[in-house]
Amino acid sequence: MTRFHLPGILAMAAIVVASNILVQFLLGNWLTWGALTYPFAFLVTDVMNRVYGPAAARRVVWAGFAVGVTCSLIGTQILFQGDGYTYPAVTLRIALGSGLAFLCAQMLDVALFDRLRGGVWWKAPLISTLVSSSLDTALFFTIAFSAALTILEPGNDTRWATEALPLLGFGPMAPLWVSLAVADWLVKLALSLVALAPFRAIVRKLT
């Protein structure tokens, strides 16, 4: 690691920490405030990849993963009171889903970006972020809340997440967690477009 990688590591750590805190606060019916900060982790990875190469980007990803695991461990020790019982801020399934989704999606982002880096400037960051953020959403919400994976943490009651409701409040009936996943995915798609402008500006400044 060189001193040039430190800003990327610090930026990734800041985004991961902020997202882990903001995910505790609701934004409307389907999102948390963390949904607005977490997608910028892909921006950090893509900038590092473009400027310093895939090896540097992977170092930043591993640093972010380590920070995320630490946040999850801390979250398991924070207890909330509700409906007559105590529950942790972060359950085993949420911690597992968060860590696996982050690591798999970010590493896929690095690989796709590197493969597409020779095209027009926006192609690599846009396509790599769209694909990897979709994987991130699918992995996290399935592992954390799907009834099919109750075996991962039998003592964790996720019936609230599997309750059948109209998708996003107006679509076909689906488990609540599917609406949460779709809303999160749509935000990621929108922010992948928004992030192109800062990506271009930051890369120009650094190069």
DSSP result, 138-174: HHHHHHHH-GGGGGG-TTS--HHHH-EEEGGGTSSEE
Spatial separation of the C-alpha atoms in residues 188 and 173, rounded to whole Å: 23
Picking from 48, 56, 63, the residue whose alpha carbon sits closest to that of residue 125 is 48
Q: Count structural domains, the chain.
A: 1
For residue 107, what are the contacts with CB-CB under 8 A and spacing of at least 6? 58, 61
User: Considering the entire predicted model, what is its pTM?
Assistant: 0.92
Picking from 42, 57, 40, the residue whose alpha carbon sits closest to that of residue 5 is 57
Q: pLDDT grade, residue 156 (50/70/90)? A: confident
On whether residue 181 sits in a domain, the answer given is yes
Q: Tell me: the pLDDT tens digits for 30-74?
A: 999 999 999 999 999 999 999 999 999 999 999 999 999 999 888
The string of DSSP letters for 66-108 reads HHHHHHHHHHHT-EEEETTEEEESS-HHHHHHHHHHHHHHHHH
Place of tokens 């009834």: 147
Distance of CA 42 to the CA centre of its chain: 9
CATH of the domain at 54: 1.10.1760
Provide the residue range defining the domain that includes 76. Answer: 6-206
pLDDT of residue 45: 98
Percent of the chain beyond pLDDT 70?
Answer: 95
Q: Is the pLDDT of residue 183 over 80?
A: yes
How many other C-beta atoms lie within 10 A of the C-beta of residue 29?
12
Higher-confidence residue of 16 and 88: namely: 16
On whether residue 200 sits in a domain, the answer given is yes
On whether residue 183 sits in a domain, the answer given is yes
CB 101 within 8 A of CB 140: yes
On whether residue 166 sits in a domain, the answer given is yes
pLDDT of residue 85: 63
**Dihedral in degrees, nearest 10, Cα atoms 109, 112, 117, 121:** -60
Mean pLDDT of 139-159: 92
On whether residue 1 sits in a domain, the answer given is no
Spatial separation of the C-alpha atoms in residues 136 and 103, rounded to whole Å: 9
Q: Tell me: the pLDDT tens digits for 100-136?
A: 999 999 999 999 999 999 989 999 999 999 999 999 9
